Amino acid sequence: MENCIFCKIAAKQMDANRVYEDNKVVAFYDINPKTPVHILVVPKKHIDNVDEAKKEDEELLGHMILVAQQIARDKKISDKGYRLVFNVKKHAGQIVDHIHLHILGGKLLSSMA
C-alpha cells in the first residue's frame, strides 16, 4: 500500500534494522524500543490491523506468532519470558496502520492494566 512505512520496509524501499525475513514476513528492531529487546514482526501483505484480518489470513497470523517464538529464542529472552502484543486501533495506541506483532522482552514487564 502506498505511503505505508511498513510496506516500504517490507519492500526494502526503506531501511530498518532487520533480524529476520522469509517470503511472508519481515522482522526488525523497533526504532523507539520500550524494552531491552523490542522487535516487530510484520507481514509483507498489508492488513490494517487484527480487526481487519480475514479467515484467509489465519495461517499468516499463526506464522507471525511462530516467527516471534523463534526470534525470542534467538535473542535469548525466551527462558525468562516475553510479551507479544498486537495493538488494535486508537484506544490501544496503534500508530502504524499495518498489522504488526510486538516482541517485548529482556526485563521484567509490569502486569497488564
Task: Assess whether 46 carries a catalytic annotation.
Answer: no
Query: Any contact of residue 87 with ligand AMP (CB under 6 A)?
Result: yes
Residue pair 64/100 in contact (Cβ under 8 Å)? The answer is no
Which residue, chain included where needed, has cell 522469509? 22
Residue pair 35/109 in contact (Cβ under 8 Å)? The answer is yes
Minimum distance of Zn ion from residue 107's CB (angstroms): 30
Pick the binder of ligand AMP from 5, 53, 60, 61 (CB under 6 A): 5
Query: Any contact of residue 96 with ligand AMP (CB under 6 A)?
Result: yes
Write out the three cell numbers for 65.
506468532
How many residues bind Zn ion, per CB under 5 A?
6
* Partner from ligand AMP, Zn ion, none binding residue 95, C-beta < 5-8 Å depending on class: ligand AMP
Mask: binding to Zn ion, 74-103, rule CB under 5 A, as x and -? ------------------------x-----
Residue 77 burial (CB < 10 Å; 0-12/13-18/19+)? Answer: buried
* Partner from ligand AMP, Zn ion, none binding residue 82, C-beta < 5-8 Å depending on class: none
Query: Any contact of residue 1 with ligand AMP (CB under 6 A)?
Result: no
Compute CA 1 distance to the chain's CA centroid, rounded to the nearest angstrom. Answer: 18
Residue pair 98/7 in contact (Cβ under 8 Å)? The answer is yes
